[in-house]
Amino acid sequence: MKNMYRKMASEIASSLKSVLHRIDGAVARRSQDLPNIPPRLVAVSKTKPVEDIIVAYNAGQRHFGENYAAELEEKSKNQQILEQCKDIKWHFIGHLQRKNVNKVTGAPNLYMVETVDSEKLAQTLNTSWGKQKKPERLKVMIQINTSKEENKHGCDINEVGKLVDFVMNNCPVLELKGVMTIGLMNHDLSKGPNPDFQSLVKCREEICKAKDLEIKDLELSMGMSADFENAIEVGSTNVRVGSTIFGERFYGNKKSSTNPASHTDSVASTSLGDPSSKETISGTSIDVTNSLDNTTESIQKLTVKN
């Protein structure tokens, strides 16, 4: 078992190093006209056990992303994480329902919410974060549905200006850090630049012009495992990479395990038919009803691969 764990840890550390090397290469190819901002790597740890997060943390990674409110709540409060990963920075990168906002804002070491897509959600976050009495404002990004796909969340690109105004003028404890998109998967670059990335770049330019902001002051969060290098080349300052670091996710009906060598993806392996059943994330139980936030909606999003 120990040998299996060492192999797993070695693979995660090696994969992380490889991703960072590829990021450096993409930065070198980036236009000199773009802001000289080192891209931030967010390691997407959704469905992965706490042990994997600790391995990546010990290899130097600090920013981690979670898609589900209940999973973020459990992992961020996990005693091992609190004791061994004191400088961890959590990003919430999934669709956030207002009923689950308190789970997210209550997470220790929450760094950013990247998926604000409505005035109602922004207001709820503002109220919830205000009650936390934190000295710093909560960093947020506005998610934009640049591809206009029905199965993806995000603000309509034509409504972004209005939402930006609302966050900046009506949400005093929120700090607008940038704009985010997922976009179409597997764009063929031989047919030209990714149109979703181009849309987000243009959107940022328009926001900065309207608000008299410097381009460098508004981040771009775009790019995942399949396209993060191209995203950086055209200006992304925040990339979300999961399976390339931690390995593929398996969403089949498998029993969870606290054994790190089993590498079980527990949250999505829940018994959905029994609302009283429970599954575990590295030994901590969570109620099925809360763990996926909105089961139907979550399952529809499982095809979106970070």
pLDDT band at 192 (very low <50, low <70, confident <90, very high): confident
CA distances for 86 relative to 42, 63, 108, angstroms: 17, 12, 10
Mean pLDDT within 47-55: 96
Give the list of residues 6+ apart from residue 179 with CB closer than 8 angstroms, or none: 141, 142, 143, 144, 160, 200, 203, 204, 207, 218, 219, 220, 221
Average pLDDT of the residues of the chain: 84
State how far Cα 91 lies from the chain centre: 5
Residue the block writes with tokens 């006209």: 33
pLDDT tens string 81-135? 999 999 999 999 999 999 999 999 999 999 999 999 999 999 999 999 999 999 9
Q: Is the pTM of this model over 0.85?
A: no
104-118, 157-171, 249-263: which has the minimum mean pLDDT?
A: 249-263
Percent of the chain with pLDDT over 90: 70
Residues paired with 110 in a beta bridge: 90
pLDDT tens string 146-156? 988 888 899 99
Q: Which CATH superfamily is domain 2-301 in?
A: Alanine racemase (3.20.20.10)
pLDDT tens string 180-189? 999 777 788 7
68-72, 93-97, 293-297: which has the minimum mean pLDDT?
A: 293-297
pLDDT band at 23 (very low <50, low <70, confident <90, very high): very high
Per-residue model confidence (pLDDT) at position 151: 83
Tally Cβ neighbours within 10 Å of residue 64: 29
Whether residue 207 is predicted with pLDDT greater than 80 in this model: the reply is yes
Per-residue model confidence (pLDDT) at position 150: 83
Domains of the chain by residue range: 2-301
Per-residue model confidence (pLDDT) at position 283: 34
pLDDT tens string 258-268? 333 333 333 33
Whether residue 158 is predicted with pLDDT greater than 80 in this model: the reply is yes
Per-residue model confidence (pLDDT) at position 257: 33
Rounded to 5°, angle at Cα 47 from 43 and 48: 60
Whether residue 202 is predicted with pLDDT greater than 90 in this model: the reply is yes
